[in-house]
Amino acid sequence: MAVLSDADRAASSTDFMRDRNIARDAFVGVTKADIRAAVNGIDDYMSANATAINQAIPQPARGNLTTPQKALLLQYVVSKRYLTGV
């Protein structure tokens, strides 16, 4: 799986910062460049490990859920794991 385009990575970084700013969620110890580097790192990891993540989904879900549905499922699990109470 290819990595996101430069524009999409920039948009991810921008949208994240704007959303957290609106929520008055202060960043400590990181600049705009640091957050962009974090986006790049996560996207690189997702690109390199997309197959492994897909393989972690057992059948019949792996074969029958669409890619957007599996992406949303991943989002739900990550949210429940890390974002409860945020």
**Taking CB under 8 A as the rule, does residue 30 contact other proteins?**
yes
**Taking CB under 8 A as the rule, does residue 18 contact other proteins?**
yes
Amino acid at 53: I
Please count the other Cβ atoms lying within 10 Å of the Cβ belonging to residue 33.
9
**Taking CB under 8 A as the rule, does residue 34 contact other proteins?**
yes
12: Cβ contacts below 8 Å, ≥ 6 apart: 4, 39, 43
**Taking CB under 8 A as the rule, does residue 33 contact other proteins?**
yes
21 vs 75 by CB, closer to other proteins: 21
Q: Are 3 and 47 in contact (CB under 8 A)?
A: yes
Taking the complex as a whole, how short is the minimal distance between the CB of residue 15 and other proteins, in angstroms?
9
Taking the complex as a whole, how short is the minimal distance between the CB of residue 38 and other proteins, in angstroms?
10
